[in-house]
Amino acid sequence: MVKLKVNRLIISALKMSNSSHQHSHDHATDQHDHKHNHDHSHIPNNKKILTISFILITIFMVAEFVGGYMTNSLALISDAGHMLSDSVALGIALFAVFLGEKASNARKSFGYQRFEILAAAINGITLVAISIYIFVEAILRLQTPEDIHVQGMLIIATLGLLINIIVAWMMFRGSDTEHDLNMRGAFLHVLSDLLGSVGAIIAALCIYFFAWQWADTVASVLVALLVLRSGWSVVKQSTHVLMQGTPERFNVAEIQAQIMANDRILDVHDLHIWSLSSKRYILSCHIVVDDQMTMQNVQSLLHEVEQSLQAIGIEHVTIQTETRNHQHAELDF
């Protein structure tokens, strides 16, 4: 069949031209030699920042929980619980960075980088769980108000704020919180905890100056709302990636039009774009070419299409060639 012949010719040509072309479609042999120009410049910083942040947050989490218990402050206890989730989140994120650096193998042909998305999903779910816990505790506290040792609450909340500011600043300046979903999830944990400390401070001041005991509970609820919003955002984004949804930065119709702009391509179908991790994108599609195209022309066309797609950030491209008369034809062996 024409389709089978075209594909065999393409494979043969690519094998013969492997020594003269820097990049070929034989991804199994050369994909990991040049890494498709992956940007790993942030990985060492991510690892260092996550390690320091994990240590600082874990140490202060214990101190804040003890302080919240001693001062009887729900705001501090809930913030300590949130810092516990921060500590777990940072630990998971750190593990994801280490695991993501492992080389691919026969059973994990794309490596372990997708664990970054799993880590982000876990972090998002813990944020949602913590916010629900705070809501429940706030309702119980409103029903049975308790005395609060405001001075101790204020001191501990202030220290917590300083720790979170330091960690958030390090993560924002020294790691990739914009494009790396794993780092963004960890960063949102720290930011929401920072807001928790701010809420605890405001509540402590309200209790100290105006004797508003309910301020502690109200501050907890407001922080819980912010935590819920952040957590849901991370869960939604990570789920989209795990479901192999089209990345937000790409428009399928526009990419299809870009491919069709080549006058040697008659049609494009079965076009799929998905994410392997936060910054690695994959595309597969079928293109229809004229039955009379030579082997050299098909090879040249594939290189052109692949390079144009890599130029917009899609590093791994798989293209199936077909002819007009043999689209989706089944191959008999």
Question: Which domains are assigned to the chain?
Answer: 47-102+109-174+182-243 (1.20.1510), 252-322 (3.30.70.1350)
Q: Which of the four pLDDT bands, split at 50, 70 and 90, describes residue 19?
A: very low
Q: How confident is the model over 211-250, as pLDDT tens digits?
A: 888 888 888 888 788 778 878 888 898 899 889 899 988 9
- Report whether pLDDT(203) > 70: yes
CA pair distance 82, 136, nearest whole angstrom: 14
Structure tokens at 9: 């010719």
Helix axes 252-260, 295-310, angle to 10 degrees: 140
Helix axes 214-242, 115-143, angle to 10 degrees: 160
Structure tokens at 51: 């390690």
* Whole-number pLDDT of residue 79: 67
Q: Which residue carries 């950030």 as its tokens?
A: 313
* Whole-number pLDDT of residue 30: 38
* Whole-number pLDDT of residue 74: 67
Q: What is the mean pLDDT of the chain?
A: 76
Helix ranges restricted to H, the chain: 2-16, 27-34, 43-71, 74-100, 115-143, 150-174, 181-210, 214-242, 252-260, 295-310
Structure tokens at 128: 């949602």
User: Left if phi > 0, otherwise alpha if psi is -120 to 50, otherwise beta: which for 53?
Assistant: alpha
* Whole-number pLDDT of residue 82: 65
Residue with more model confidence, 210 or 182:
210
Residue with more model confidence, 135 or 83:
135
Q: What is the pLDDT averaged over residues 36-47? A: 51
- Report whether pLDDT(252) > 90: yes
Contact 110, 104 (CB under 8 A): yes
Q: Which of the four pLDDT bands, split at 50, 70 and 90, describes residue 306?
A: very high
Q: Which of the four pLDDT bands, split at 50, 70 and 90, describes residue 326?
A: low
pTM: 0.65
* Whole-number pLDDT of residue 42: 46
- Report whether pLDDT(17) > 50: no
* Whole-number pLDDT of residue 75: 65
- Report whether pLDDT(126) > 50: yes
Among the ranges given (110-124, 193-207, 311-325), the one the predictor scored with the smallest mean pLDDT:
110-124
CA pair distance 228, 243, nearest whole angstrom: 22
